[in-house]
Homo-oligomer: A and B are copies of this chain.
Amino acid sequence: MEKQFEDFRHQLDESGSVRERIRSVVMEMEAAARLVHSSLLLVHQSLPVLEVLEKTKLQIEVIKGLFGRLAEILRERPDQYYRYHGDWRSETQTVVSLLAFLHWLETGSLLMHTEAEKKLGLDSSEFGLDIEDYLIGLCFMSNELPRYVVNQVTAGDYDCPRKVLKFLTDLHAAFRMLNLRNDFLRKKFDGMKYDLRRVEEVYYDVKIRGLASTESTQDETAQA
């Protein structure tokens, strides 16, 4: 019996040490993500997008390096990704939400899963980005959009609601293709419709007051 528990002690200690190492990386990741978030918040104050992107670059490189360290820790335990997954997923979701928002600001399109992995230096065959984490990250990004739209309209950008609405509608429709289990992702997705409605209402306010630019209105009519 003693021999067995001696073995267990080594194994539990080893797995405890893995957790400690992961925890230390994750704490740095949380700090870096917080800095990215701070910079990103400046878009609400209408700082030019390019400046915001510039400000976040460095920290995103830091985060990429941290994912590299996570991958390294897990490298000797190739089948234990999901054993420790719970220890880094929350921060990963936050990082995805930030990257996806930045990407949308830059390109107007959705950050794809493979693009997210590339930005984070991840390799699916080894240490990938879990699909559910990616999807939850997109839901978190969606939560930021109503506020962004409100602030942009306040700052005089009357075309913003139309663009965000188009993006969010497409994203929402894409999510609806999935058969989600009754879990955390499902709950987060259910919240996305409130973001959508809020953006619709802002767009409605802009239209009803004749503030949407003629050009974009024609644009939209053409699309419809």
State the CA gap A37–B11 with chains docked (Å): 21
Asked whether, in the complex, the Cβ of A172 is within 8 Å of the Cβ of B41, the reply is yes
Indicate whether A207 sits within 8 Å of B153 (C-beta atoms), given known contacts A147-B200, A197-B147.
yes
Asked whether, in the complex, the Cβ of B16 is within 8 Å of the Cβ of A181, the reply is yes
Indicate whether A41 sits within 8 Å of B176 (C-beta atoms), given known contacts A79-B81, A181-B19.
yes
Categorize the interface residue count of chain A.
Answer: 35 or more
Majority DSSP secondary structure for residues of A touching B:
helix
Asked if A169 CB lies within 8 Å of chain B CBs, one says yes
Most buried by B among A5, A46, A109: A5
Interface residues in A65-122 (C-beta closer than 8 Å to B): 78-83, 85, 109-110, 112-113
Cβ-closest chain B residue relative to A80: B82
Contact indicator per residue, chain A 9-45, by CB within 8 Å of chain B (1) or not (0): 1011100100100000000001100110110011011
